[in-house]
Amino acid sequence: MNHRSLWYLFVALILLAGGVRAQSGAARPPVLRLGLKDAVAIALAPEGNARLQIAEELIRLARARSEESRAALLPNVSAYVGEQNLTRNLEAMGIKFSLPGFSLPSLVGPFNVFDARASMALPALNFGSIRRFQAARAGISQAEAEKESARDEVRAAVARAYMAGLRARGMLEATQADVALAEAVLKLAQDQKAIGTGTGIEVTRAGVQLANQKQRRLVAQNELAAAHMQLLRLLNLNLNARIELADELAYVPEPAAAAEQALKTALEMRTDWKAAQKRLETVRLQQSAARMDRLPSVNLFADYGSTGTGISRSIPTRTYGFNIQVPVFDGGRLDARRAQASAQYRQELIQSADLRARIDLEIRLALDSIQSAAEQLKTAEEGLILAQDVVAQAERRYSAGVSFGLEVTDAQTRLERARENRIAALFGYNIARINLYVAMGTISQVTQ
């Protein structure tokens, strides 16, 4: 390779490196603008939240168990072909015969035995197997209901994480406003000192207040990034993705509802309650199957094939019949299985009653929370308006030289607290609304 070729190769490598850098810079992911409904749709996608993927696998597992249970009711057919070369000791088998001048030999063989045969066994009547198949079929419905329950849980988790992101963004916007106000106050203090109506301690105090607000802004930025990553994790997206929340943390009036009517709606709509009823039905059928194992069962059997000393010297033979099996004594195995199934059924009954009581409690707590949150929000709104008036008055008094910078700093602190109270009240109100929708089983209707 000559010097000119080496030079061309060097230039090509430089251009390639530059192109790779340009591609890596251009490959920076764009900002994904997400509304609450968009976020929920992504989480519910087939490649979305891991909980839903697990629920889908549980449905496949239930279907496989159903197929396994059905196999106990279908014919079992097998085929066999083989040839053996045998020798037998007749005396060892108890065959011993002799006459004067004649006796059976002790050793017989070697001789060949060929056998080609198909056999079939069919449980014609087995009540326990029938009931277990019914329980397995009910298990599919249970798994599907539990998947719907998981979907509602994902909807609620995404909605709460989305509201947490809106709260973090609101806190960041509030701290940015506090920083802007602190900068304006610092400039005012510097101007007052320049014209001789202010003091150095007031400039220092304003500078300290500005530094505190900048520190709070850094904390708010970190909390917003953490809230975004929590949301990305629920959506099963790359944590390096950049997102922007399209909705606002706002007040949406919620119509009043009676606890009794809300409970009735919950028992009709809540997917976890429906899954609990499906699970109770499955366990009831399993308990019935354990009891029916005590009943007699009828089995059919048959085989057909050719046997002989060789393929060319074989003749058809067959066997068929039936048998009735009656459990008499099995060491207590069936009794133990029945006791176990009964305990599981009673456990499901207790859990079902407990879930109903918990649903009633969740509804009452959600109704109280939403009413309290609405009142807190109203108070926070009033407090914010008053705090803004206090800051405006303090700034005017300080500009006129009739007050000190400490009054402005105190007003800033009050405004900062009022902004935080309003954001916290808005967040609490929206979380209370989500909790009410979850308690009533209508979370899917408000996130679609």
Domain ranges of the chain: 29-74+126-296+332-446
Reference 225, options 247, 246, 245, 249; nearest CA is 245
Provide the strand spans (E) within 104-212: 107-125
Kindly indicate whether the domain formed by 29-74+126-296+332-446 is annotated with CATH number 1.20.1600.10.
yes
Note down pLDDT in tens along the chain; length 448 residues: 444 443 333 333 333 444 444 344 445 668 888 899 999 998 988 888 888 889 989 999 999 999 999 988 899 999 989 999 989 888 888 888 777 777 778 888 898 999 999 999 998 888 999 999 999 999 999 999 999 999 999 999 999 999 999 999 999 999 998 898 888 888 888 887 887 777 788 888 888 888 998 999 999 999 999 999 999 999 988 888 889 999 998 888 888 778 899 999 999 999 999 999 999 999 999 999 999 988 999 999 999 999 988 888 889 999 999 999 998 888 888 889 899 999 999 999 999 999 999 999 999 999 999 999 999 999 999 998 998 888 888 877 767 766 666 677 788 888 889 999 999 999 999 999 999 999 999 998 877 6
Query: Which DSSP state fits 2?
Result: -
Distance CA 239, CA 229 (A): 6
**Amino acid identity of 305?**
G
Distance CA 178, CA 193 (A): 22
Helix axes 405-440, 333-400, angle to 10 degrees: 150
pLDDT digits (tens, 9 = 90+) for 165-206: 999 999 999 999 889 888 888 888 888 788 777 778 888 888
Cβ-based burial of 267 (10 A; exposed 0-12, middle 13-18, buried ≥19): middle
DSSP-derived secondary structure for 305-358 = EEEESSSTTEEEEEEEEEEEE-----TTHHHHHHHHHHHHHHHHHHHHHHHHHH
Provide the strand spans (E) within 21-106: 31-34, 76-89, 98-99, 102-103
Specify whether the CB–CB gap between 263 and 373 falls below 8 A.
no
pTM: 0.79
